[in-house]
Amino acid sequence: MIMNKPTLLAMSVSAFIAFTATPILAQEAKDKQPPKEESGEGHSHFTTIPATVDEIWKQIHKQHGKLLSVVAKKDLGEAHDHAFAIRDLVKALPAKVPAENKAKTETASKKITKIATDIDKSGAAGAQKATEANVKKMEAAITALQASLKAK
């Protein structure tokens, strides 16, 4: 079977399209999936970030109250939801605080992110005392951050 140039060219173009379109379409499908959380468990958390620093702090305290409540009830499966909500809210602060507070807010955000992950791990393990200890660390970190932002 002998192929002429137009047929050979058409087959080459078709093959090129097939081999390049598949990875592009696969990447587009992957991009449309919701992001996975840092915990690696694929449990997504979406926290609405308020517009102002004061509103963010109100939400942080609300989530902290819920965190205390679920841990007190020994409902450790819910603890990570509130810990990660606090993490997300604190991560939003550096973009909204005055420039002179940005660095310390970012440092505190990293610490609170680690504590939230620790709460997730201890809660998933059913470790009540460890989760309570991590919640106390979270409370101390939140209190310290808020005090440092108020101090001038």
Q: pLDDT tens track of the chain, all 152 residues?
A: 566 877 777 777 776 676 665 565 555 555 554 444 433 344 556 789 999 999 999 999 999 999 999 999 999 999 999 999 999 999 999 999 999 999 999 999 999 999 999 999 999 999 999 999 999 999 999 999 999 988 65
pLDDT of 104 reads: 93
Q: What is the pLDDT of residue 27?
A: 57
* Residue found under tokens 């991590």: 134
Provide the pLDDT for residue 36.
Answer: 40
Pair 146, 90: CB distance under 8 Å? no
The domains located in the chain, with CATH, are 53-150 (1.20.120.290)
| Residue closest to 119 by CA, chosen among 144, 92, 142, 100 | 142
Q: Who contacts 105 (Cβ-Cβ below 8 Å, separation ≥6)? A: 90, 93, 94, 97, 145, 149
Compute the distance between CA of residue 45 and CA of residue 150 in angstroms, rounded to an integer: 29
pLDDT at 42: 43
pLDDT of residue 7: 79
Report the pLDDT value the prediction gives residue 5, as an integer from 0 to 100. Answer: 77
